[in-house]
Amino acid sequence: MSEISISSEVFDGAVMSDGLPTRQRRWAMLTYLIGLAMSVLDGNIANTALPSIAVQLHSSPKTSIWVVNAFLMSVAICVLPLSSLVDILGYKRIYQAGVAIFTVASAGCSLPHSLSTLVVARVVQGVGAACIWSVSAAMMRYTYPRTELGRGIGLSGIIVFTSAAAGPSIASGILAIASWHWLFAINIPFGLVSLSLSERYLAVAPGTRHRWDFWSAILTAGTVTLLIRGIDGIGDSAGVGMIAASLAGSLAFGLALVRRQLALPAPMLAIDLFERPIFALSSLASLFAFMAQGLAFVVLPFYFIEVFGFSQVQAGLLLTPWPIAAGVASHIAGRLADRYPVWMLGTLGTAAMAAGLVLLALLPGHPAVFQIVWRAGLGGLGFGFFGAPNNRAIVAASPRERSGGAGGIGTMSRLLGQSVGVSVVAVILGLLAHGGVNRRATSVALLCGAGFTAAAGVISSVRLPHFHPE
């Protein structure tokens, strides 16, 4: 089947226009959103099944957590090297490879009879997810005109948030009628559909001619692995020596990585893009915002269950307004970001998110459900209103041929921010919750999250005020 024409002029397979015509754009986004939804769901859906997996595979709950950790570690290690490959090979090839790997790995996850084989399959599945996530910025730049970038980013945002919100419910529904193996097997038909559509509808994106740097990939893996190991050690109450050694090793690998990147004409870690003020400030604001959200998503279940006495099911439902509100706000704010200054939208969003976290921290001793729901919804609304415009700024501030590297930086800001947020919760609970979770510890954690959000808002407000979507 021949490629659908995406512009009035195509030269040597390279796109010569700004975005796709409307009809092709819709099909291209459907193709991408199928893969995005699959990968986001599988990043969350396995959590619900961990007790069943542990029992059926005769493993301890602590060991079964590697079903989740293996996926996340694989994504974190691979996303930057794969983002570099996006610029070299073109986003379409990387996306197709990612969906194929993810689909095959999903079949592998549905078959194993031991925890070790499931963990290996999850590692491979994480590689596929990293491919899908690494093309996000390039997908938007080659699919939407520059003047409509916010619309595409907002649409992808609503898919991410609603997929994350629906994960526990979908998992519970599947587990009610089938074994946990079907949590992974259900991806197979969707992956095949996305692959079929991708060949016809995704834009043909040219690659660059620079070489992929193997040693940069090794240094990146060392930096990320040791950093996450050190951060996790704080939450696990690991020895000071182990934590210090991991963080020091990560710093050493990181410095070597930066030094190597400075000598490369097209670095794998796109540090040259930080010379652009909008890109640098938007990436830093993203880091702080995800620190706050990562913190909130960990501490709120403890808050609802241990402090207020809600059940696990009720706590999950009380947390749901956050991702739902974030998804809706992301879609709206993405459209607004094409018309209004990004710094203004981002500042308003972080103000609402910080207010939501403060109000949650100050809940009365016996809150009604509605009192919790609207505060959680306000926090999610603010996060979504900040996220889409901020992502638009990151994408628009980078050259189209460097959009893979820009996407990698954006994904790493999210992963690192969430990891740091989780570790902050662990430290606060360790210091203030001796013998169990209490009101003081959870409230302090939420106020700390509000502080991170305020920092993101300050950074958003100092982005060049005259910057406006072109």
The model's pLDDT over 129-154, given as tens digits with 9 standing for 90+, comes to: 999 988 887 888 888 887 787 778 77
- Name the average pLDDT for the chain: 81
> Using alpha carbons only, how large is the chain's radius of gyration in Å?
22
Per-residue confidence at 238, pLDDT binned at 50, 70, 90?
low
Per-residue confidence at 361, pLDDT binned at 50, 70, 90?
very high
Q: Which single residue is written with the structure tokens 């997996």?
A: 53
Q: CB within 8 A of 470, min separation 6: which ones?
A: 146, 147, 396
Judging by beta carbons within 10 Å of its beta carbon (0-12, 13-18, 19+), is residue 62 exposed, middle or buried? exposed
Q: How far apart are the first and last CA of the chain?
A: 36
Host H or E run for residue 407: helix 403-432
Task: Given CATH 4.10.320.10, say whether it is the number of domain 1-212.
Answer: no
Q: What is the pTM of this model?
A: 0.73
Evaluate if residue 453 carries a pLDDT over 70.
yes
Per-residue confidence at 1, pLDDT binned at 50, 70, 90?
very low
Per-residue confidence at 468, pLDDT binned at 50, 70, 90?
very low
Q: Which of 144, 135, 132 is nearest to 6 (CA)?
A: 144
Evaluate if residue 436 carries a pLDDT over 80.
no
Host H or E run for residue 337: none
pLDDT for position 375: 94
pLDDT for position 8: 35
Evaluate if residue 299 carries a pLDDT over 90.
no
DSSP calls for 81-94:
HHHHHHHHH-HHHH
Evaluate if residue 121 carries a pLDDT over 90.
yes
Q: Average pLDDT in the 342-349 region?
A: 88
Question: What gap in Å lies between CA 145 and CA 7, rounded to an integer?
Answer: 12
Domains 1-212 and 272-470 share a fold: yes
Sketch the domain layout of the chain as residue ranges.
1-212, 214-263, 272-470
Given phi > 0 = left and psi -120 to 50 = alpha, else beta, which region is 17?
Answer: beta
* CATH topology classification for 272-470: Growth Hormone; Chain: A; (1.20.1250)
Amino acid at 167: G
Evaluate if residue 168 carries a pLDDT over 80.
no
Torsion of CA 462, 464, 465, 470, to 10 degrees: -140
Evaluate if residue 278 carries a pLDDT over 70.
yes
Evaluate if residue 210 carries a pLDDT over 70.
no
Residue scoring higher pLDDT (322 or 418): 322
